[in-house]
Amino acid sequence: MPPADSAVRSVRRALRRWRDALSTTARSLARRWRSSLQLRVVTSALALGVVALALLGVYLSFSIRDGLFEQRVDRIEQENVAMTEQVRTTFQSSPATTTADLQTLLSTMIQTLSAGASSAQDFLLLSAPDLPVRSLDVATEPGLNDVVSPQLRAATVSSSGQVLQSVRLPAEYTGSGVAEPGVVVGSTVEVPTIGTYELYAIYSLQAEQETLAFVQRTLAVGAVAILALVGVLTWVVTLQTVAPVRRAATVAARLADGHLDERMAGSRGHDEMATLARTFNEMAANLEDQIARMEELSAAQRRFVSDVSHELRTPLTTIRMAGDVIHASREDLDPAAERSAELLVTQLDRFESLLTDLLEISRFDAGAAVLDVEPRDLRDLVSVVVETAAPLAASKGVFLSVSLPEEPATADVDPRRVERVVRNLVVNALEHAEGKPVEVTVATDAKAVAVVVRDHGIGLTPEQLQRVFDRFWRADPARTRTTGGTGLGLAISVEDAHLHAGWLEAWGKPGEGASFRLTLPRRAGIRLERSPVPLTGPSRGVTSLPTGQIPVVNPPTGPTPTAIPELAAGDAADTPGTPGGAGTVEADGPADAVDPVDGAVHEEGTR
């Protein structure tokens, strides 16, 4: 590699490192500025101070400059008037007539002016442009003619008074080695026997320039001192204001973490901050009392539900035995009593299921639910559930199909709980399918396994989607249930999914059906980021698994009788809460992940 290319690459790498360092520093400062109220207040105060002092400094600087200049010019004009009158008087009283005498007179006059008390730096006597004599021009320094501009000479000749012009004196004429600001004053005088001469006096304004520079330096030092004072004062004042707010934020964060005994210091006094601290502490105390009472009430309710459920099992067993005896001999009863015996057994079955679900919910509420985990293939669990639901599908005339992947969908799960979730989803789909097809789809990827149950029945409105996982909630209370449900199935399913650190999501649209998706991690500790199957449609590239009497429709290519219609762009954008629109909803809790497959928002469960 040529040395030049190597050097260029080194320079580029160095520039890139500097650019990255500056970018990192700028981002760090921006984050610090956005996160600190005190820093923003101090910065704003300093910025306003800089603008105000800059404007004030510019105004004062220009005012002082103009004042110094005008004052100096007034003195120069007065001095130059007196000097010009003296020169004219001297020339009028001079007896010189010859050229030598006139040359001597002019030289003597220049020397007299230089040695006088005038503050002028140099003098020139130049013959008027219309005079034929040019050799009699005199000056205190050679080359000063360059300082007098032609415009000034023309104005001097045409004026009867004195003419003033600001100039910059070259460094070679100042004696200090640097250029200086100055003023040239021109006037006309009459020289005997020759005619009109132009008298120019050159004045330096370097003293005034130094005075102005000193004043500007003083103003700059004063501005810096004032800015520092403003910054310190603003910092101190904002610190007294922000510090209690920071303490309140810290205490509030501790309260949010469950440390209900935290209190805010600084409640003594009578100022606003002390009042804030006292009010905050009173609020925290009331909040602690309310939460304690709510926890006691919740614990009492959980104990009540659990105790009642346990206590009801004994009489329920007795009633069950009596009911079975009556039901066994129902043929000997009259038709009304026979029907009553059948209804009694049916309601006892539902009552027993309700007690079982209540006990399960109470275990979830008490945090006593545990997983009995073992590696299982979800294809087997889904097949068992589908085969069990086949009679219900046949009785309702619903075309039930299942699509399973070729590869094993193995995950560490509690088979009893996962089977219960899938059974609830399938039975609910059959209940609301309105005689239309129901599809069950299983899919898998490297991190997760998923089951989607899709029906094409009455569907769900956005408002219903928001409550679909609530306990004892039914989309249509007037609808009759043929499966004896308790209203706790989806609520228990949500808890089972969260216990596995998984998701349970719902989608629905009126007239187009509903879809529920269960997504579970393959192993403990895996953080779900996406689901292997879309929420609103079956996955592609899976093969069907025959399950005996259950019809399975999933040809390798082409549409199927149970294919899910593609959603239009407008439908896909519908969200829960839009009347008449479609949407997705998860079990409950805050949404902190977005499924990149279909955009559904879901919650992360905890094992």
Per-residue three-class SS string for 229-285? HHHHHHHHHHHHHHHHHHHHHHHHHHHHCCCCCCCCCCCCCCCHHHHHHHHHHHHHH
Q: Closest Cα partner for 313 from 348, 273, 270, 272?
A: 348
Q: Are 102 and 192 in contact (CB under 8 A)?
A: yes
Give the integer Cα–Cα distance in Å for 467 and 460. 10
Q: Are 587 and 600 in contact (CB under 8 A)?
A: no
Q: Are 473 and 466 in contact (CB under 8 A)?
A: no
**Which amino acid belongs to residue 455?**
D
CB-side neighbour CA atoms (13 Å) of 6: 3
Q: Which residues are registered as beta bridge partners of 594?
A: 601
Token digits for 201?
Answer: 């006096």
Question: What burial letters (b/e) apply to 448-461, b meaning 16+ CB within 10 Å?
Answer: bbbbbbbbbbbbbb
pLDDT digits (tens, 9 = 90+) for 3-23: 667 777 888 888 888 888 888
Give the integer Cα–Cα distance in Å for 549 and 544. 14
The pairing of beta strand 583-586 with beta strand 122-127: unpaired
pLDDT score recorded for residue 553 = 29
Q: Which residues are registered as beta bridge partners of 410?
A: 377
**Which amino acid belongs to residue 57?**
G
Give the integer Cα–Cα distance in Å for 493 and 449. 16
pLDDT score recorded for residue 135 = 54
Q: What's the residue count for the chain?
A: 607
Give the integer Cα–Cα distance in Å for 274 and 268. 6
Q: Are 475 and 459 in contact (CB under 8 A)?
A: no
Is this structure's pTM higher than 0.85? no
pLDDT digits (tens, 9 = 90+) for 471-529: 777 655 545 445 555 667 788 888 888 888 888 988 888 888 899 999 999 888 888 88
CA distances (Å), origin 537, targets 316, 457, 515, 574: 44, 15, 8, 16
Using DSSP's 3-state secondary structure scheme, residue 368 falls into: coil
Q: Closest Cα partner for 497 from 567, 438, 553, 422?
A: 422
Q: Are 454 and 535 in contact (CB under 8 A)?
A: no
Other CB atoms within 10 Å distance of the CB of residue 557: 4
For the chain, residues with pLDDT lower than 50 are 478, 480-481, 537-607
Other CB atoms within 10 Å distance of the CB of residue 97: 10
> Which residues have CB under 8 Å from 245's CB, separation 6+?
37
Token digits for 420?
Answer: 């219960």
Q: Closest Cα partner for 519 from 534, 541, 537?
A: 534
Q: Are 467 and 547 in contact (CB under 8 A)?
A: no
Burial class (CB in 10 A: 0-12, 13-18, 19+), 500: buried
DSSP 8-state symbol, 550: B
Burial class (CB in 10 A: 0-12, 13-18, 19+), 92: exposed
Q: Are 464 and 569 in contact (CB under 8 A)?
A: no
Q: For residue 425, which phi and psi values (nearest 5 degrees)?
A: -65, -45
Distance between alpha carbon 572 and the CA centroid of its chain, in Å? 27
Using DSSP's 3-state secondary structure scheme, residue 553 falls into: coil
CB-side neighbour CA atoms (13 Å) of 174: 17
